[in-house]
């Protein structure tokens, strides 16, 4: 049995996703690490333990100060023009000073905000402009444009008539409400980002720092390397496991794709296919329970339901997503006769598990903290991170060990990874504040409810398009936060189950990572593979087709979210798995051998019949499923490769 080193291993001293050369101690790195440490202090309840009475909003303002300063300091590196560098320094000083003023003076400001004092108005105006400019620099104009439109409604909506008419609110009242009130910028979305998101991204970064990324990749090699198309299956399994803890799709592709894409290309997959598989699998890691890139905890917090309910509801949709990718990769390998990996590249599975089992302990600590001790999600993640630190001090995976430079780099990377999410969360607070203060939220919900009463499908289709458009270019957690504010409430108002509504927006928003014209995950993977970016994005959409379809189905079929009697769940989930398998086979054009155009249409039709919601087939669902399965049996029989009779022997 081979004991060759895994092709996924990072350089010695690496974190498991990219090598560490030397610690960075620039001002932006120190601030990023400070952001992570502030979250650790808050998650551990140190202020309360030390007898310090600190408002949550003061902590949020401090997080915002760190984030804005890092964003504007980046401009000093990116810009060579002296005038632009001076502007960046000015933005950094003014925005950071305003946020720190808010953090220190919040108790006084919140008591005086009813009178709209000049300092409250000025600080709010500065921070609103600073946040919007920071978002423009990092994420582009899409989200900024949405916020400006909503704010414009708040200012001028009282001049229009109809359901979208808003009440008049003085501009200074809007500024103070958005900047200081706990229903605005310093509200629930920023609180979630500054506590749960930072805690779990730090948890993931520490795991990766002690070699968890290498362990997951070796585990994928041991499980899938000996199967046909093993190179693609390794990428699917490894990227899925890696993605569920990383929380950042592009980071996932950096960590695993630089190796898996090359292995897939060398194994016989086309460059676009290799890049598309990696991009789709890495994106899908965000929907994979139990962590779901921290979104599971955000969803539970927003819906005020137990975390376990979110995890249970997400199991089947995630399963169907990966069934589609796996089946397509497998049939592609069969069609092109792509062989398994060479034995010398596959580490022994038993040895991998023997070396890597300690990495299961931090996950167990988080789960026990949530379920057995009812800890806050960020506190549970804190204890999970502490257990990862302990494991890293005494052991690791391969050459990965926890040293001071490695721990410092994990803190820096965590801070850098969450800054965009913090800014998006602050912007989502602007949206929540405007919708509540002006009454626009009621008008939007009323309009969408009226639309849904005439056609539920049309409402879901419009919501899906909005989700994909709003999600373009944003990190997954940020996408969910914005959509949970803008779209989910309207879906709930028309009678859709809250979990189904939030999973709907999450899935469609997440797929913006591979959907043209932005498709940042697909484009990034295409760059690694030296493949055509647009073709890669289109192929990634084909591999991940389930994520565009299944949200429409589980909205009207609760059994796909494991709700209902067990026999109904078993029938619907079984039929869905077979349907996804058949439609995926039709996409590839291969089942037991190559499929012609007519055969592909027949296979796809059978798959659609099995996948289609039962109650929408004129009440004859069992009969339709039975006919579909009978048709499948006939097609499968006809697909059997012909047996060639041996030539007669001469007597």
What separation in angstroms does the CA of 292 have from each of 115, 158, 208?
Answer: 44, 41, 16
Asked if residue 16 lies in contact with residue 210, where contact means CB atoms within 8 angstroms, the answer is yes
- Confidence band, pLDDT 50/70/90 cuts, at residue 466: confident
Q: For 330-355, what is each residue's pLDDT tens digit?
A: 999 989 888 788 887 888 888 888 88
- Confidence band, pLDDT 50/70/90 cuts, at residue 376: confident
Q: Which two tokens stand for residue 231?
A: 């190179």
| Cα–Cα distance, 321 to 310 (Å, whole number) | 17
Average of pLDDT values for 445-459?
76
Q: Which two tokens stand for residue 632?
A: 């499948």
Asked if residue 394 lies in contact with residue 403, where contact means CB atoms within 8 angstroms, the answer is no
Q: What are phi and psi of 122, to 5 degrees?
A: -65, -45
Question: Which residues are paired to 590 by β-bridges?
Answer: 594
Q: Taking 80 as the threshold, does the pLDDT of residue 34 lie above it?
A: yes
Q: Taking 50 as the threshold, does the pLDDT of residue 329 lie above it?
A: yes
**Torsion angle defined by CA atoms of residues 416, 62, 379 and 23, in that order, rounded to the nearest 10 degrees:** 40
* pTM given for the model: 0.81
pLDDT at 646: 45
Q: Is the peptide bond before 112 cis (omega within 30 degrees of 0)?
A: no
Asked if residue 68 lies in contact with residue 132, where contact means CB atoms within 8 angstroms, the answer is no
What separation in angstroms does the CA of 378 have from each of 52, 192, 423?
Answer: 20, 9, 19
Residues with Cβ within 8 Å of residue 607, at least 6 apart in sequence: 578, 579, 580, 581, 582, 583, 585, 586
Q: DSSP secondary structure string, 556-592?
A: H-GGGGT-S-HHHHHHHHHHHHHHHHHHHHHHHTBSS
Q: For 267-318, what is each residue's pLDDT tens digit?
A: 889 999 999 999 999 888 888 887 776 788 888 888 988 888 998 999 999 9
Cβ-defined contacts of 57-60 (< 8 Å, 24+): 57/106, 57/110, 57/182, 57/186, 58/103, 58/104, 58/106, 58/107, 59/103, 59/194, 60/186, 60/190, 60/191, 60/194
Asked if residue 127 lies in contact with residue 179, where contact means CB atoms within 8 angstroms, the answer is yes
Q: Which two tokens stand for residue 255?
A: 């960590």
Q: Which among 517, 28, 544 has a CA at the least distance from the CA of 283?
A: 544
| Cα–Cα distance, 651 to 249 (Å, whole number) | 68
pLDDT at 14: 39
pLDDT at 644: 40
| Cα–Cα distance, 492 to 503 (Å, whole number) | 12
Tell me which of 319 and 81 has the higher pLDDT. 319
- Confidence band, pLDDT 50/70/90 cuts, at residue 622: low
| Cα–Cα distance, 90 to 98 (Å, whole number) | 12
Q: Taking 60 as the threshold, does the pLDDT of residue 15 lie above it?
A: no
| Average pLDDT for the chain | 83
Total residue length of the chain: 651
pLDDT at 624: 62
């Amino acid at each position: 049995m081979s004991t060759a080193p895994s092709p996924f291993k990072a350089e010695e001293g690496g974190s498991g996703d990219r090598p560490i050369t030397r610690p960075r101690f620039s001002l932006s790195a120190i601030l990023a690490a400070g952001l992570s440490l502030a979250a650790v202090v808050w998650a551990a309840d140190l202020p309360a333990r030390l007898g310090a009475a600190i408002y949550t909003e003061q902590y949020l303002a401090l997080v915002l100060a760190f984030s804005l300063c890092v964003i504007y300091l980046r401009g000093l590196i990116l810009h060579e023009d002296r005038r632009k560098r001076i502007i960046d320094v000015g933005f950094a000083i003014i925005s950071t000073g305003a946020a720190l003023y808010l953090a220190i003076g919040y108790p006084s400001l919140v008591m005086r905000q009813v009178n709209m004092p000049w300092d409250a108005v000025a600080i709010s105006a500065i921070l609103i402009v600073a946040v919007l400019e920071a978002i423009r620099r990092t994420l582009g104009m899409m989200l900024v444009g949405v916020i400006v439109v909503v704010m414009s409604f708040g200012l001028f909506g009282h001049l229009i008539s109809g359901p979208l008419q808003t009440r008049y609110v003085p501009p200074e009242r809007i500024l103070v409400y958005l900047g200081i009130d706990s229903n605005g910028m310093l509200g629930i979305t920023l609180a979630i980002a500054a506590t749960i998101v930072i805690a779990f991204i730090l948890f993931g970064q520490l795991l990766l720092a002690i070699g968890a990324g290498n362990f997951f990749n070796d585990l994928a090699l041991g499980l899938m390397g000996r199967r046909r198309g093993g190179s693609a299956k390794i990428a699917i399994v490894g990227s899925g496991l890696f993605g569920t803890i990383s929380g950042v799709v592009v980071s996932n592709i950096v960590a695993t794709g630089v190796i898996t894409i090359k292995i897939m290309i060398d194994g016989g997959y086309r460059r676009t296919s290799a890049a598309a598989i990696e991009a789709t699998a890495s994106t899908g890691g965000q929907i994979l329970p139990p962590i779901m890139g921290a979104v599971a905890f955000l969803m539970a917090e927003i819906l005020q339901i137990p975390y376990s309910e979110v995890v249970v509801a997400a199991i089947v949709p995630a399963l169907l997503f990966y069934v589609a990718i796996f089946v397509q990769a497998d049939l592609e390998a069969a069609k092109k006769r792509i062989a398994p990996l060479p034995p010398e590249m596959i580490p022994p599975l038993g040895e991998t598990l023997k070396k890597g089992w300690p990495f299961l302990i931090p996950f167990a600590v988080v789960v026990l903290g949530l379920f057995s001790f009812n800890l806050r999600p960020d506190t549970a993640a804190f204890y999970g991170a502490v257990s990862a630190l302990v494991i890293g001090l005494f052991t690791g995976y391969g050459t990965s060990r926890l040293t001071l430079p490695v721990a410092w780099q994990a803190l820096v990377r965590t801070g850098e990874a969450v800054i965009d999410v913090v800014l998006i969360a602050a912007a989502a607070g602007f949206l929540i504040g405007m919708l509540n203060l002006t009454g626009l939220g009621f008008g939007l919900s009323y309009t969408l409810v009226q639309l849904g009463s005439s056609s539920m499908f049309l409402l879901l289709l419009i919501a899906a398009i909005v989700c994909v458009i709003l999600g373009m270019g944003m990190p997954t957690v940020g996408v969910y936060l914005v959509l949970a504010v803008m779209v989910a409430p309207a879906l709930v108002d028309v009678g859709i189950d809250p979990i189904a509504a939030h999973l709907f927006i999450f899935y469609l928003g997440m797929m913006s990572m591979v959907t043209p014209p932005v498709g940042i995950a697909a484009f990034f993977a295409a760059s690694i593979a030296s493949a055509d970016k647009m073709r890669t994005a289109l192929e990634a959409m084909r591999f991940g087709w389930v994520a565009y379809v299944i949200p429409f189905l589980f909205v009207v079929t609760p059994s796909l979210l494991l709700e209902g009697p067990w026999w109904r769940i078993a029938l619907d989930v079984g039929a869905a798995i077979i349907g996804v398998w058949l439609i995926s086979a039709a996409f590839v054009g291969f089942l037991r051998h190559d499929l012609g155009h007519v055969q592909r249409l027949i296979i796809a039709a059978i798959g659609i019949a099995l996948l289609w919601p039962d109650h929408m087939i004129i009440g004859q669902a069992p009969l339709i499923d039975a006919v579909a399965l009978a048709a499948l049996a006939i097609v499968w029989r006809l697909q059997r490769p012909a047996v060639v009779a041996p030539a007669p022997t001469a007597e």
